[in-house]
Amino acid sequence: AIYDAVNPIAAGRRSLAKEFAKQNIETLFIESMCDDPKIIEENVRRVKIGSPDYVGWDANDAVKHYLGRISARIPHVETMEEKDLNYIKAGVSLDANSYKADSSLSEQGQDYAKKMTETILQHRESELQAMRDQGEPDAVLKPLTVWTSTRLRTVETAKWLHEKGYAIRQRSQLSQLNPGVCEKMTEQQIRQEYPDEVAKHEIDPYHHRYPRAEN
C-alpha cells in the first residue's frame, strides 16, 4: 500500500503503479481526507512538529509554518479519482475503488446489520427504562462507542448506528489476518488444493500459516 503523502498528482500515482506492475506487484493507494481545521492543527501539533525539521523551534511557530506548507500544496493536489487504480479514500466516510479484496456487504448482510442495530437500540431502551423503574427518573445511559475494523463490510455494518448519532471508531488491529492464498476459498477447496498445509495446520494451528498469509 502507498500512503499518499508525497504522490499528490494522478500522473505520479499512475507512474508508480506502472513500475510496480512490471514486478507483478499490485498497488493500493490510500488517501486520508480531512478538511476540519481543528483536527488538522491537532495532528500537526501532535505529530508533525516532532520531526527533525523543527528541532529548536517554538511549538506555535512550528505549527504555523507547517500549516503554511500544507496551504501552499493544496492548489497542486489532485484527489484520487483514477478509475484504473486501486485506492481507498478514508475520512468521515470510506470510498474504495477497484479494491476487490474488501467486498461490500451483501443484501443479506445489510438486512442483518439493520436488525442488529434495532436490537442494540431496543436493548439500550430497555436498560434505560429499567433504571427509571428503579427510581432513577433522570437516569442517562453511558455513551455508546462502536469499534470496527477498517474492512469495508464492517464499516458498512456500523453505518446504521452512525446514522443514529453513535460514535464509530475504526482500528486496523480489529481486521482478521490475511489468509493468503486461501482468500475466499471454502474449507473443502482448501483441503483439496492444499492437503499438506491443512495437515500442518491441524498439527500446530497456533503457529502454522498458509502460504502468503499473515502471521
69: CATH: 3.40.50.300
**164 burial via Cβ count (<10 Å: 0-12, 13-18, 19+):** exposed
Beta-carbon contacts of residue 123 (< 8 Å; ≥ 6 apart): none
Based on the fold, state whether residues 88 and 121 are members of the same structural domain.
no
Based on the fold, state whether residues 82 and 23 are members of the same structural domain.
yes
Based on the fold, state whether residues 111 and 76 are members of the same structural domain.
no
Domain for residue 186, yes or no? no
**140-187 pLDDT, tens digit each:** 898 899 999 888 889 899 999 999 999 999 887 787 677 788 877 788
Using 50, 70 and 90 to split pLDDT, how confident is the model at 115?
very high
Full-model pTM: 0.41
Q: What is the mean pLDDT of residues 58-73?
A: 91
Please report the pLDDT score of residue 27 as a whole number. 82
Domain for residue 192, yes or no? no
Residue among 116, 208, 122 at smallest CA distance from 154: 116
Domain for residue 182, yes or no? no
Domain hosting residue 145, numbered range: 107-174
Asked whether residue 32 carries a pLDDT value surpassing 90, the answer given is no
Q: Angle, nearest 10°, between helix axes 37-46 and 59-73?
A: 120
**68 burial via Cβ count (<10 Å: 0-12, 13-18, 19+):** exposed
Based on the fold, state whether residues 50 and 137 are members of the same structural domain.
no
Based on the fold, state whether residues 83 and 55 are members of the same structural domain.
yes
Other CB atoms closer than 10 Å to residue 86's CB: what's the count?
Answer: 20
- The number of folded domains in the chain is 2
How many angstroms separate the CA atoms of 134 and 127, rounded?
11
